Amino acid sequence: MSRRLRGHFRPLGPTVIRPLLLICLLAGPSIAAEPVSYSIDVPQVLLKGTPVPRVTITAERDGVRDATVNEPIEVQGIDRVLEGEATALDSIENGRAVFESKTAESDLVFVTDDQIVVSRDGETLASRTVRRIPGWLSLLPPVVAVVLSVLLRDVLISLFAAVYAGAVLLWSNPFVAFLRSIDTLILGEIAPSADGGGADLGHATILLFTFFLGAMVAVMSRSGGTAALLGHAERFATNRERGQVLTCLLGFLIFFDDYANALLVGGTMRPLTDRLKISRAKLAYLIDATSAPVAGLAIVSTWVGVEIGYIAAGFQQVGVDTDGYTLFLQTLPYRFYPVYLLAFTLMIAWTGRDFGSMRRAELRNRQRDQESSIGETAVVARDAVRPSLINALIPLAVLLGGLVFGMAWNGTSAIETHNAAVADESERIEPTIWAVLDKSEPVEILFLSSFAAAMSALFTSLVTRQLRLSEATEAWIAGMKAMLPASMVLVLAWAIARVCDPQHLNTAGYIVHATAGALSVHWLPALAFVIAGAVAFATGSSWSTMGLLMPLFIAVGWSLMPDGTRPDATPMLGTIGAILAGAIFGDHCSPISDTTVLSSAAAECDHIEHVTTQMPYALSVGAISLLFGYIPAGFGISSLITIPLGLAACYGVVRFCGRRLEEAA
């Protein structure tokens, strides 16, 4: 090398070359391409003979999905059945293969072996051992909850036992299952993980809403607001029957949300019903019977958007373009259970007749020890203050006004944001009242409104000088404490719902698959009502039941009906109405339902007593709905005929099975 060339390279001496060599050595592993690995994602436990919700096989590089991978694969241990015929699972596209059961489309995926193996040309790419259990075991948590609740009459122990039973099925080891029951299933339900990461604060928001509403009611009561309301109500509620009717009418007025209905009606009417010697079990029933049924039937409520969305999605799946809200309105005459239940409840209230366990509860309440009643009256008298109607009207106005304004503002803002983000004019959303309700976040609005109402109750009591600050804060804290047992039950009920969801025990999937094959167009509404009731009873969630069953039954019903059938044909409307009504029916009967829990809490009634006293009434109306509603609807009989027949049957049950308290047993 010439001196000139050596001069050019002179700067690259040892002080420069050595660091470069070190960098190259350190970077060497990253320069070489990592081999593709494969992961298999399945639910924690699988049910034998039941379709698995989803199996995902992902090609990964450095732990991240590699979307460049497109290659054939062979999968052992999984069968895909499409319309009764087995099809192959044979390729990965864009780095992922997703095999998902779509019951409504007869596209089912089964795990047939205890090990899933992914291979290509005889070379094993990935394998995973899975746990499979008999399908009937998925019913164990709700069965344990119901049976132990009846035997032990202790709802907290019974629900925790149900959570633990599900955890044992999920984790096998009893000790590990106990730990996971607490730190994963129960604690995780207070702020569960959201799909996009972070935490979903919906459950925590509901708990705080419950606490704040309890605080508002307690301060209202302590400051004389409730007494003033009752003073006006007593002009009408002069006896037990009128007191029950007034409770029902107040439940009809709070139509916009079932949670707000339950807690507000219970907190307001409890002192009056106690004075009229109406049992707490009867009050809890009146609350529960006018919460979800009223919200589900109301054309403006927090339920409307959900129900319309499920209906529209079901018809989109079968390729039918229809107006979800129009069909929602057309199904109202086919919501036999909530319609009959509201009428049945008014008949019970107006006539003063009861039967079964409810009548026994009313008799026990009437025969309470007189000395105990006198003692309770004395305690109330010591805390009583001058009635002040403004101490009730302002918090209630803040609560109701906050709900209406909050949902309107929240929904409108969401629509404006959506419209600003889309370029296609056809994708824009018109800000109708139903669209606003659909896009609003009712749980968040309930939380903010209840907090504002509780604060306004506190400030109003101070401004009117009904309470000192120490007394107001004491009442506030006492009201929140009163909601603690209900909140504990609510969290346990959520935990059971998590155990039974599709990603864990898949209880609803087992029920739906076990009853498949019994579908006929004429019996479709009746079958939809029964299955919806069973799923809602087992899961404690009416909304989840609607979301699961609506696409299935719309698709099946559409395939069974003759060509040219309109979506508003009587059997189809009856089927849709049966799902929406059956979900409420099962929810009413379920001890793990959130509205059932909140109703017993609002009435300050023993939860198990509420479930056992309400059950005969719910089952009676459910049977009437089936016999005089959904079976005739399946054969095309108009609701103009079935509704009067059902109402007459409800009156017959009340008249001939029920007795007034004065009548001998």
Contact 97, 91 (CB under 8 A): yes
Rounded Cα gap, residues 235 and 223, in angstroms = 21
Place of tokens 């009117």: 464
Mean pLDDT of 142-163: 79
**Residue 189 bridge partners (DSSP):** none
SS3 107: strand
Q: What is the mean pLDDT of the chain?
A: 79
Q: Which two tokens stand for residue 541?
A: 């969630």
**Considering only CA atoms, which of 192, 184, 132 is closest in space to residue 163?**
184
Q: Which residues of 456-474 are buried (b: 16+ CB within 10 A; e: fewer)?
A: bbbebbbebebbeeebbee
Q: Which residue has the higher pLDDT, 570 or 110?
A: 110
pLDDT, average across residues 16-42: 61
Q: What is the distance in angstroms between the CA of the first residue and the CA of the last residue of the chain?
A: 120
Give Cα 2 to chain centroid, integer Å: 84
- Residue 636 has φ and ψ, to the nearest 5°, of 85, 10
Q: What is the average per-residue pLDDT within 423-443?
A: 74
| DSSP code of residue 541 | -
Range of lowest pLDDT (73-82, 244-253, 464-473): 73-82
Burial class (CB in 10 A: 0-12, 13-18, 19+), 9: exposed
pLDDT confidence tier of residue 434, bands split at 50, 70 and 90: low
Tell me how far apart the alpha carbons of residues 588 and 578 are, in angstroms, rounded to a whole number: 15
**Highest mean pLDDT: which of 240-249, 386-395, 565-574?**
240-249
pLDDT of 317: 63
User: Quick check: 581 and 530 in contact, CB under 8 A?
Assistant: no
Task: Write the pLDDT tens digit of every residue in 332-384.
Answer: 899 999 999 999 999 999 998 999 899 998 888 887 644 344 334 333 333 45
| Structural domains of the chain, with CATH | 37-130 (2.60.40.10), 502-657 (no CATH)
Radius of gyration (C-alpha) of the chain in whole angstroms:
30
User: What whole-number percentage of the chain has pLDDT above 70?
Assistant: 81
Give 306-316 pLDDT, tens digit per residue. Answer: 677 677 767 76
pLDDT at 42 over 80: yes
Q: Which residue has the tokens 């004395």?
A: 378
